[in-house]
Amino acid sequence: MPPCANQLPSELAAPLSEHGTGAPQLSLLDWALHVGEPQSHTIAAHHHLIIEKLNDIAAGRIDRLMLLLPPGHGKSTYASSIFPAWWFTRHPATSIISACHTDSLASHFARHTRALVRENAETLGYELSKEDRGASRWRTSNRGDYFACGVRGPITGRRADLVLIDDPVKNMAEAVSAAARNTLWNWYRADLLTRLRPQGRIILIMTRWHEDDLGGRILQNDPSWTVLRLPALAEENDPMGREPGAALWPEAFDQRALERTRHSVGPRYWQATYQQNPTPDADALFLSARIQVLDQPPSIIREIRAWDLAGTQPTEGRDPDWTVGLKLAVTSNHQYVITDIVRLREGPIEIANAICATASQDGPSVTIGLAQDPGQAGKQQIAWLTTRLAGHRVRASPETGSKFLRAQPAAAAVDAGMLSMVRAGWNRTFLDELRDFPNGRKDDQVDALSRAFSLVSEVATQPRRLNVPMMAR
């Protein structure tokens, strides 16, 4: 538990009676039973576990909760509809922001929660404010405030004591898009987190789609989250004590039905959205999760800066390739470390200037690798660059073979755990490209990495001159 989890601001810590509502201390379980009674809804075993974790959030025992469950298993019903209505009984005069992948889904939860409040005012001890009862924003008589929006939507000017993020990813197409994942991550960090009041709380409710989706990226960057992961079919050490293979909600989806679903959707989709354990794409060449991130590189014996050249500037409606300069180091214990990546999209003159400036910064000990385009123009370009790089060791050669084959040595090093990288701002885009290769939209960094590995082998096998007397040879 985070050290400050129990140090709550007064509006979150004070007993309900101090706010003058006079409402009984209704438990979340009793409230859930009350809501489900008209439909004869039975609270399943995994719902009890969800309620337990939501109680921990309300009590301040935890302040970050991730609920990872398969589709259709009730996670949103409890966390995004039933819980926020009850939250205001314990924490009046606080604010909730609820965000989903679209405005329409967020409004759906907002309307459902608002209806629960309207129909159960006497049980809850408060009612809707007469001044503000909109579909996506409403207030309560005990000064609570609820606001719903789509992820990436505008929330400037709003503050929250509780944030609910439910289904932030719309579909698999969005999940496999590195650009969409980055946009969502930037919205979460730069927009949403800045709206959270001191010691506010966040609940992320989702099914997993991709190893680098919002849930996966949060877990990579913040280990303080409490995670309730409940796969559709139990695995070893199940949180509910189920035997391996047992269904999560057999009353609704028994083992036979789940097995039929597994065969229908395929292994990748099943493992991600039903088992909550997304794995790298079977078609992907690089096992990017095995690349270690270092704060400082170990002892280095040689370095190579490999360039993949492009010469088109971005214009409206065009998304050209990048020019990439990747610096690969070989360590004293025969490991490989990526120490720097330069990326730019400029014209030929600007690219040549950038290569020369980077070479000056790297120093003459770093070998420079250049890819030579076929034909006379490619030879002339390399000759011109080599002249400008006088004093540096330059290795230029045409690319041979497919991109996939050229990437094999680098992928083998990743697979063996021999490749790491220095922690830097370029890490994320690099890993995204590796993860999506060979099916991604861009592969310029992969091409530069492939050339760097080919040069490492070439430089390592160059014959060495020995300065010893003739008769001692």
pLDDT at 290 over 50: yes
430 pLDDT band, cuts 50/70/90, is very high
Q: Give per-residue pLDDT as tens, 378-398.
A: 778 888 888 899 999 999 888
Tell whether the model's pLDDT for residue 363 goes beyond 50. Answer: yes
Rounded to an integer, the average pLDDT of 55-75 is 97
Q: How confident is the model at residue 462, as a pLDDT? A: 46
Is residue 328 scored above 70 in pLDDT? Answer: yes
| 163-204 pLDDT per residue, tens | 999 999 988 778 877 778 889 999 999 899 999 999 899 999
Which has the minimum average pLDDT: 76-90, 118-132, 306-320, 333-347?
306-320
Greatest distance between any 2 Cα atoms in the chain: 105
Tell me, what's the pLDDT at 465?
A: 37
Residue 12, pLDDT > 70, answer: no
Domains of the chain: 10-230 (3.40.50.300), 288-459 (3.30.420.240)
- pTM score over 0.85: no
pLDDT at 457: 65
Grade residue 437 by pLDDT with cuts at 50, 70 and 90. Answer: confident
Give CA separation, 130 vs 97, 148, 403, 408, 465, in Å: 20, 19, 64, 66, 89
- The H or E element that residue 352 is part of is helix 348-362
Are 337 and 420 in contact by the 8 Å Cβ rule? The answer is yes
With cut-offs at 50, 70 and 90, classify the pLDDT of residue 281: low
Q: Which two tokens stand for residue 82?
A: 């039933």
**110-125: pLDDT as tens digits:** 999 999 999 999 999 9
Q: Cα(347)–Cα(326) distance, rounded to whole angstroms?
A: 19
Work out the mean pLDDT of the chain and round it to a whole number. 85
Q: Residue 40 pLDDT > 80, yes or no?
A: no
Beta bridge partners of 19: none
- Distances in Å between the alpha carbon of 61 and those of 53, 75, 87, 136, 300? 9, 20, 15, 29, 46
Q: Give the number of other Cβ atoms within 10 Å of residue 230's Cβ.
A: 23
pLDDT tens sequence across 442-455: 889 999 999 999 88
Question: What is the reported pLDDT for 23?
Answer: 46
Positive/negative CA dihedral, 269, 272, 277, 278? positive
Among 105-109, 328-332, 408-412, the range scoring the smallest mean pLDDT is 408-412
3-state per-residue secondary structure call for 194-214: HHEEEEEEEEEEECCCCCCCH
Residue 286, pLDDT above cutoff 90: no
Question: What 3-state class would DSSP assign to 395?
Answer: strand
Q: pLDDT category, 377, cuts 50, 70, 90?
A: low
Q: In this model, does residue 214 exceed pLDDT 60?
A: yes
Question: Above 70 in pLDDT, residue 149?
Answer: yes
What secondary structure, in 3-state letters, does 429-464 show?
Answer: HHHHHHHHCCCCCCCHHHHHHHHHHHHHHHHHCCCC
Q: pLDDT exceeding 90 applies to what percent of the chain?
A: 57
C-alpha Rg value of the chain to the nearest Å: 28
Residue 369 main-chain phi, psi, to 5 deg: -110, 125
Lowest mean pLDDT segment, chosen from 110-124, 280-294, 410-424: 280-294
* pLDDT value of residue 140: 95
Angle between helices 444-460 and 427-436 (to 10 degrees): 90
Going by pLDDT thresholds of 50, 70 and 90, the confidence category of residue 212 is: confident
223 DSSP 8-state letter? T
Q: How far apart are CA 253 and CA 380, in angstroms?
A: 67
How far apart, in whole angstroms, are the C-alpha atoms of residue 174 and residue 78? 26
Which among 251-260, 275-284, 438-447, 453-462 has the top mean pLDDT? 251-260
